Chain A
Amino acid sequence: MTANPALFVDDIVVEFAKPRSLADVLTGRKARAVRAVDGVTLAVEAGQTLGLVGESGSGKSTIGRAILGLIKPIKGRVEFEGEIAASRADIRRRMQMVFQDPYSSLNPRLKIGEAIAEVLRFHRIVPQEGVATEVQRLLSVVGLPGAMANRRPRQLSGGQRQRAGLARALAVRPDFLVLDEPVAALDVSIQAQILNLLVDLRRQLGLTMLFIAHELGVVRHMSDRIAVMYLGKIMEIGPADAVFETPRHPYTRALLGAVPKMDLVKRERPAVTQGDIPSPLNIPSGCRFRTRCLMARDICRTEPPEVMIAADHMSRCHFVLDAVMQAPSRSADRHITEAL
């Protein structure tokens, strides 16, 4: 990793205050806060894609929004190309977002062309005479026919809307995109189209990306590096291949073990985790994964250290260097289950 990553997130903490209910007020309880992101540090090199995976309550969406300045963190800072993003509107404009829900990401009252043109005009990306041409160019870049400029969102399918939203984001010539579950709401056959488009655009435009998703296969396909989050903290972060082929954290292993495989064997095995994901209001002390971890021991009640497995691969677990963790994924899972 170079000394100057394009995006640098330094120990961000984001809290949401949970408003006090009447009962809380009457009993004098203090307002509680949910720590959606609890000290996350990450860096993305220019032109690279960092994949962020996690389940409910992991904080992955919150981090995306905090990076773009939609949510103010209570601690920590976000730097883009060396500058603090929060202080510079022009920097923030180079960081854009692609959303999950194709049905709410476009203004229903605006035609597609109007929505894109508005961006071009407001920021004077091109002179007035060139707006219509630029709109057409953007539409073709995302694979939409030019006639779409005159359609309204309700006349477009989910995949087409995602393309339109992408065109709108690209209108402002961003260098960095946060993609928050961009294909989760799409049919499988459309999903592949959009992913291919994103890969092409990334290459053509040299985009740096933060790709947030819960589908491990999709994340793997898109990412150079992967960070695995659980209840607001990064559990493991490293090169995509390393993290998915030789995961060094029990949660990563659990995620990979839980994903249904296409091995065409009707499952008889038990689940790889037990119990529910804890609520972010009640984060377990010490290692937050210990309540569901099959390897948990007493030491897990203390905060686990960050262990560097390699220069660019970190795992936050007491047992990173144990033999069990060093074995390839599947056999290790069996060991873990048998050990109990």
Chain B
Amino acid sequence: MANPPLLSVASLNVAFSTPQGQVVANNHVSLSVAANETLGIVGESGSGKSVLCRALLGLLPSPPATVSAEKMDFAGHSLLSLNAAEMRAIRGQEIAMIFQNPMSSLNPVWPIGDQISESLRVHRGVGRSQAREAAIAALARVGIPSPDIRVDDYPHQWSGGMAQRAVIAMAMIGEPRLLLADEPTTALDVTIQDQILSLLMQLQRETGMAIILVSHDMSVISETCDRVAVMYAGSIVETGRTVDIFRAPAHPYTHGLLRSIPHVTSKADQLASIPGQPPDLSTLGPGCPFADRCPVASAECRVRPIALAPIGPDHSTACHFPERVAGLGQRLAS
């Protein structure tokens, strides 16, 4: 990693108390991201990736969630020691977040311009007309045509793609140093997703912000992220540079994911699939959560707790036997 980390999280734990008992949504999650860098978090349902984003921003209501971490530092300050007011100041300014469904991220009864400039008016006390100018500029920056007219539109008048651009404009207006993007293109058409991803990369080049991009789509991750963390059932099972992880995955789950995706560019007869389904988080055993579905698991895997261990410079895996992954057959040809 070239730059010093902007966000550094060590051993983040998030648990929910539910009628069925304690559910551990994030289990000793550690990650870091530097300025100008994009960290991808890839995982399926139950992986805990969305909970992770919300935990970083303190958005989880405290019962039923319990959040604890050894370290959660942002730009040199510990996020853990902030009170509610200080956290609010960081949210929307230093750290911004965009979500999957743009239509539910926007308030349907407010004009778009007002929603974009609200952050400025609240956090920086900017006046009305100045804030409106800033909103117009923000819309122009994210590629909305005729922003001076469209700034007064209501969300329902806009398509999904344009609405997501508006959401990005809202996020960018505070000039954040870190952008959390939780499945930002999942609900969008392919050509629109293409536009939004290019926009995000362009904004990163212009501002040097760090991005944490959460997605279930490996191909999106491969095109936009410098580094990746693969999550399964609440734990990070592998992390490292995108190139390394995709070329030589060191965890059976990552390997399985990569091989189960049908590619546009080629046609295979049978897709390699991972048998079974993601586990119920309330009934996890002490060992590796992937053991039941793992093609190379042994008895030890079910009992010995997992922890990320480095297997190369900037490549770590939580698999107890990463050497077995190499024998699993052809990985992603690149």
**A and B in direct contact, judged by CB atoms within 8 A:** yes
Which residues of A does B touch, CB under 8 Å? Answer: 55-56, 157-160, 187-193, 195-196, 199, 214, 216-218, 220-221, 240-241, 244, 254-277, 279, 292
**Contact residues in A for B17 (Cβ distance below 8 Å):** none
Question: Cβ of A271 and Cβ of B198 under 8 Å apart?
Answer: yes
Expressed in whole angstroms, the Cα–Cα distance for A158 and B216 within the complex equals 16
In the complex, what residue of chain B is closest to A258 when comparing beta carbons? Answer: B194
A193-B275, A221-B267, A276-B192 given; 5 more Cβ-contact pairs under 8 Å: A158-B45, A195-B273, A259-B219, A260-B222, A264-B243
**Contact residues in B for A269 (Cβ distance below 8 Å):** 198
20 A–B contacts, CB within 8 A, in A order: A55-B189, A56-B160, A160-B277, A188-B44, A188-B216, A191-B260, A192-B272, A214-B190, A216-B190, A217-B261, A217-B263, A218-B262, A220-B263, A244-B265, A260-B220, A260-B222, A261-B264, A267-B223, A272-B194, A273-B195
**Contact residues in B for A256 (Cβ distance below 8 Å):** 264
Given contacts A258-B193, A267-B201, A272-B191, contact A159 B277 (CB under 8 A): yes
Given contacts A196-B271, A244-B264, A264-B246, contact A258 B190 (CB under 8 A): yes
Question: Cβ of A271 and Cβ of B191 under 8 Å apart?
Answer: yes
Expressed in whole angstroms, the Cα–Cα distance for A279 and B158 within the complex equals 11
- Which one of A188, A240, A264 lies within 8 Å of B334 (CB-CB)? A264
**Contact residues in B for A262 (Cβ distance below 8 Å):** 218-219, 222, 246, 263, 332, 334
Q: Smallest Cβ distance from B159 to chain A, in angstroms?
A: 5
**Contact residues in A for B334 (Cβ distance below 8 Å):** 262-264
Expressed in whole angstroms, the Cα–Cα distance for A254 and B246 within the complex equals 25
Is the CB of B330 closer than 8 A to any CB of chain A?
no
Question: Cβ of B223 and Cβ of A55 under 8 Å apart?
Answer: no
Q: Smallest Cβ distance from A286 to chain B, in angstroms?
A: 20
In the complex, what residue of chain A is closest to B222 when comparing beta carbons? Answer: A262
Question: Cβ of A217 and Cβ of B262 under 8 Å apart?
Answer: yes
**Contact residues in B for A240 (Cβ distance below 8 Å):** 267
Q: Smallest Cβ distance from A177 to chain B, in angstroms?
A: 19
Is the CB of B71 closer than 8 A to any CB of chain A?
no
Is the CB of B203 closer than 8 A to any CB of chain A?
no
Question: Cβ of B194 and Cβ of A271 under 8 Å apart?
Answer: yes
Expressed in whole angstroms, the Cα–Cα distance for A182 and B160 within the complex equals 22
Is the CB of B249 closer than 8 A to any CB of chain A?
no
Question: Cβ of A267 and Cβ of B219 under 8 Å apart?
Answer: no
**Contact residues in B for A196 (Cβ distance below 8 Å):** 270-271, 273
Expressed in whole angstroms, the Cα–Cα distance for A191 and B278 within the complex equals 12
Which residues of B does A touch, CB under 8 Å? Answer: 38, 44-45, 145, 159-162, 189-195, 197-199, 201, 205, 216-220, 222-226, 242-243, 246-247, 256-257, 260-265, 267-275, 277-278, 332, 334
Expressed in whole angstroms, the Cα–Cα distance for A173 and B261 within the complex equals 30
Expressed in whole angstroms, the Cα–Cα distance for A277 and B192 within the complex equals 8
**Contact residues in B for A277 (Cβ distance below 8 Å):** 159, 161, 189, 191-192
Expressed in whole angstroms, the Cα–Cα distance for A220 and B247 within the complex equals 23
- Which one of A189, A266, A267, A273 lies within 8 Å of B260 (CB-CB)? A189
Question: Cβ of B264 and Cβ of A259 under 8 Å apart?
Answer: yes
In the complex, what residue of chain A is closest to B198 when comparing beta carbons? Answer: A271
Question: Cβ of B197 and Cβ of A260 under 8 Å apart?
Answer: yes
- Which one of A192, A255, A258, A275 lies within 8 Å of B271 (CB-CB)? A192
Given contacts A55-B190, A188-B44, A267-B224, contact A260 B217 (CB under 8 A): yes
Question: Cβ of A260 and Cβ of B219 under 8 Å apart?
Answer: yes
Expressed in whole angstroms, the Cα–Cα distance for A269 and B201 within the complex equals 9
**Contact residues in A for B226 (Cβ distance below 8 Å):** 266
Expressed in whole angstroms, the Cα–Cα distance for A55 and B161 within the complex equals 12
Question: Cβ of B191 and Cβ of A273 under 8 Å apart?
Answer: yes
Expressed in whole angstroms, the Cα–Cα distance for A13 and B205 within the complex equals 47
**Contact residues in B for A258 (Cβ distance below 8 Å):** 190-191, 193-194
Question: Cβ of B262 and Cβ of A195 under 8 Å apart?
Answer: yes
**Contact residues in A for B222 (Cβ distance below 8 Å):** 260-264
**Contact residues in A for B199 (Cβ distance below 8 Å):** 271
**Contact residues in B for A159 (Cβ distance below 8 Å):** 277
In the complex, what residue of chain B is closest to A54 when comparing beta carbons? Answer: B189
Question: Cβ of A255 and Cβ of B277 under 8 Å apart?
Answer: no
Expressed in whole angstroms, the Cα–Cα distance for A195 and B260 within the complex equals 10
Give the 8 A-B CB pairs with smallest separation, nearest first.
A258-B194, A192-B273, A192-B260, A55-B189, A221-B262, A187-B44, A271-B195, A260-B219
In the complex, what residue of chain B is closest to A241 when comparing beta carbons? Answer: B267
In the complex, what residue of chain B is closest to A256 when comparing beta carbons? Answer: B264
Q: Smallest Cβ distance from A33 to chain B, in angstroms?
A: 20
Expressed in whole angstroms, the Cα–Cα distance for A158 and B160 within the complex equals 26
Expressed in whole angstroms, the Cα–Cα distance for A264 and B332 within the complex equals 11
**Contact residues in A for B216 (Cβ distance below 8 Å):** 187-188
Expressed in whole angstroms, the Cα–Cα distance for A196 and B269 within the complex equals 9
Q: Smallest Cβ distance from B146 to chain A, in angstroms?
A: 12
Q: Smallest Cβ distance from A246 to chain B, in angstroms?
A: 13
Q: Smallest Cβ distance from A122 to chain B, in angstroms?
A: 31
In the complex, what residue of chain B is closest to A56 when comparing beta carbons? Answer: B189
Question: Cβ of A193 and Cβ of B262 under 8 Å apart?
Answer: no
Q: Smallest Cβ distance from A249 to chain B, in angstroms?
A: 14
Question: Cβ of B198 and Cβ of A267 under 8 Å apart?
Answer: yes
Q: Smallest Cβ distance from B162 to chain A, in angstroms?
A: 6
Q: Smallest Cβ distance from A225 to chain B, in angstroms?
A: 13
In the complex, what residue of chain A is closest to B204 when comparing beta carbons? Answer: A266
Question: Cβ of A267 and Cβ of B197 under 8 Å apart?
Answer: yes
**Contact residues in A for B189 (Cβ distance below 8 Å):** 55-56, 214, 277
In the complex, what residue of chain B is closest to A187 when comparing beta carbons? Answer: B44
